[in-house]
Amino acid sequence: MTTVCVISAEPDLANAIAGLLGSEFYRVLPQTDWTEDVARTTADVFDVVIVDAELTSVQPLRLVERIRKRLPDCPLFIFSNDGQKEWEEDAYLLGVSHIFEKPVRARLLCEMLQRFLKPDVSLPALTTASAPVHEQTRHESAPGSTRALEVLRDYSAVLSHSLCAEALLKQFLLFIRRMMGVNRAGIFLRTAPSALSNGENESQSHRLRPACAIGLAPGLLEHFELTLDSGVGRHLLRHGRILQAHSEEVRQDSAIRKEFELIGTQVAIPILDRESLIGVAMFDSRLTGESFSSEELTLLFHLLEQLGLAIRNIWLHDQLSANHDLMADALGHLSNGCVVVSAAMEILHANQAARAVFNHLEKTTRQMEFSDLPQTIGGKVFEVLRDGRVVEPFRYSPKDRPEALYKVSIAPFQKRNPASPNAALILIEDYSQIERLQKLDIEAANLRLVKLMSARLAHEIGNSIVPLSTHQQLFTKKYRDVEFRESLNEALSDGVRRVSRLVKQMYFLARDSAVLMDSLSVSQLVEEAFKDAQEMHAEKSAYLQYENGDKTVIPACEKNGLRYAVAEIMLNALQSNAATPQVRVRTSRLVDRERIEWLCLDIQDNGPGFTLETSIKGHEPFFTTRNVGVGLGLTVSLKIIETHNGRMEIQPANGGAPGFVRVAVPLLPPADPDIPPVQVVRPVSAKV
C-alpha cells in the first residue's frame, strides 16, 4: 500500500486524487499544512508528497524546504495553475520531482508515480483501455529492455562516485571493460581550474594530462601527456568527432600516428561537456581482437559526454567547496563576531567571536540557534529578511554585561531580482575598548585644556596683582607722597581693567544663548565699541576711520554683548601696531540665495595683517602671538556673534591686500519681494 500525502487548502483535491488512484493500492492522507505535529508523528509513513501551491512567491519554496528537511528521499510533486520559470527552477533545485500544471491527467500522474517510487513498492497497472496493449508490448520487448536496464543500472553505479573524479573515472573504465571487453584504455583531461579562481590557468589549459588508465603499464603514462596544439588532442578539438587509428587522417599525420602507437590504442573519442572539449578517451580493440561497431562507438561517445558533464560538475563543486571553506575560515578568524541567518531563521554560520558575545554559548559545543540572539538583534534580522534593506549600524549592550558595548551591522544576501533575501549577515564589532579610549582621550583633552587655562589665567591675574602688591607694601611709608598716590591710582586702574576684562570674557564664554531684545544702529555699535576698545588699550592714542552716517538698525540683538564682541576685535586691531594704531571699518549689506539680508562689518588695522596660520587659529581658545594676555578675545567675539546667529571670518593678508575680520549678522528679510538674490555691496569709508 502506497501512502500519498496531499497538502492543500482545498479538501476536494485530495478526494479527486484518491478517486483517481483507487483505494486498492493507494492511501491518500489530506493535510492543510506541513506543521511540526505532522512532521513528527506521520511523516515517516509517507511514500509520496503532493503539494498544491502557486509558484509565484517564495512561500511554496520554504514549504518545500521544510518537507525536504524531514523527508529528503521522498518523491515530491507540485500542482500549480500558473508559475514562473525562476520559481520552477528553484523548486527543482530544492528537490521537487515534478511540477504538474492543472488540470493533471490521470495517465501522466500514474506514470510519474511509477517512475519515482522505489522499485520494491508495488504499483497497479494503469486502468485505461490501452493498458493491455502496453502490457503486451512490455512483455514482448522484455529481452532487449532487460539488457538496456542492466546497462543503465551499471552506469548509474558509476555516477554514484560523482564527487570523486578519480573513483568516477576508474569505475567508468571498469564498466566499459565489463560491458564491451576493452583491452586497454586511458583518459586524458585538461587541468582542473584552480580551486580559488573563476577559470582555467591559461598556461596549463592546452595540456591533457593522464587521469586514469587500465591495461597500461603504470610508468608508461607517468611522463606522457597530450596537447591541444598538435596530435590527437588538436584533431579532436578542431573536428569534435571519433578518430580511429586506421583512418586516412591518422596515416597522413605522423604526430597522431605516433601517439596511437605509443599508447597502443585504436580509437580516440572526445570528452565533451556540451560546450567544449575537456578531455580525450583512447581505447584499444576488444580482448578478442575485434573492433567496435559504429553503434558501440556512438554509445561510447554519448556515455563519455555524460562523463564530461559529471567531471565539469566535480570541478565546479571543488571550486565551490574551496571558496566555501575559504570564506568560512576567513569568517572564523575574524576578531569581530559574524553570524549568517537563513531566510528560514536558521543559523548557517556563527564564528567563535560571535559565540563569545553571547556568553552562555562560549563554552558549549551545541549549534547556535536563532532564539539565542537577543530580541533587539533578532527583530532587526527579521526586518532585513522581510524587506531586503540594510539596517543602519546600531549599538548593543548585553543586559548581564552593561559595561560591554558592541556595534552591530546587518546586511542582506540577495540574488539578482529576488523577491526576498536568501540570508542576512550580522557583524558584531566590540566597541568597549574604543569607547573607553574615546573617553580617556576626552578626559585627557579636558585636562590639557584645564592645565592651559590655569596657566594663562594665573599668568594674567599675576600680572595684574604684581603692581598692586608692590604698592601695598609701600603704602604705609609713602602714602603722603603725591607721586606715589598717582602711581597707585594708575596701578589700580590697570589692574581693575585687566581683571574686569577677564571676568567679562569668562561670563560670555559660560553662556550658551542670549536674549535678543535690543535694537542698535550700526554707527552707534561701531563708535561705542571703539570707545570700549580704547579704554581697554589706554596706553596709546588710537584712530578710527569710519563714516558714521550709516543709520542701519540691527533689529534684534543683545546690545552689550554685540558691542563687547566688536570691541574685542577692534582691541586686537589696536594691539597689532605699536606705533600709531588705526582701525578701519567698512559696512556693507548683502542678500543671500535664501533672501536673508546680512549686515557685514569689515574691521581692518594698519599693521602687517593676519598670516595664514593666525587666520586659521585666531579664534581658538588661548591662542595668542603676544607675551601678555590670555588669548580669549577673538574666541569670545566668535561665541557672542554665533549666539546672534551671525558669522565671523578672519581673512589673511594676500599679496598687497591687507587682512581683516568680517562680522556678519542677519537683518530683517527684505521688504521688497522683487529684490533678486544677488550680492549688493555699499562700501562706506571716510575719515572721522
- The answer to whether residues 383 and 391 touch, using CB atoms and an 8 Å cutoff, is yes
Answering whether pTM is above 0.85, one says: no
Q: Classify 208 as helix, strand or coil.
A: strand
Q: How far is CA 335 from CA 279, 507, 566, in A?
A: 45, 49, 55
Cα gap 191→208, rounded to integer Å: 7
In this predicted structure, what is the pLDDT of residue 675? 41
Spell out the CATH class of 2-130.
alpha beta
The set of cell numbers assigned to 36 is 511540526
pLDDT at 299: 87
Domain boundaries, the chain: 2-130, 153-319, 334-430, 435-506, 511-666
Cα separation of 136 and 603, whole Å? 114
pLDDT of residue 687: 32
Q: Once rounded to an integer, what is the mean pLDDT over residues 327-331?
A: 74
Joined together, the cell numbers standing for residue 152 give 543503465
Residue 185 has a pLDDT of 92
Phi, psi of 577 (to 5 degrees): -130, 115
DSSP states along 493-547: HHHHHHHHHHHHHHHHHH-S-----EEEEHHHHHHHHHHHHHHHTTTS--EEE--
CATH architecture of the domain with range 334-430: 2-Layer Sandwich (3.30)
**Contact call for residues 425 and 343 (beta carbons, < 8 A):** no
Homologous superfamily of 153-319: GAF domain (3.30.450.40)
Produce one character per residue of 454-478: b if its CB has 16 or more CB atoms within 10 Å, e if not.
eebeeebeeebeebbeebeeeeeee
**Does the fold of domain 334-430 match that of domain 153-319?**
yes
* Of 225-234, 349-358, 494-503, 589-598, highest mean pLDDT: 225-234
Report the pLDDT averaged over residues 593-601: 85
**Residues 6 or more apart whose Cβ sits within 8 Å of residue 229:** 206
Question: Is the pLDDT higher at 255 or at 145?
Answer: 255
Is residue 270 very low, low, confident or very high in pLDDT (cuts 50, 70, 90)? very high
Q: What is the pLDDT of residues 7-17, one digit of tens each?
A: 888 877 888 88
What CATH number should be reported for the domain whose range is 511-666?
A: 3.30.565.10
Q: Please name every residue paired with 7 in a beta bridge, in sequence order, or none if there are none.
A: 31, 51
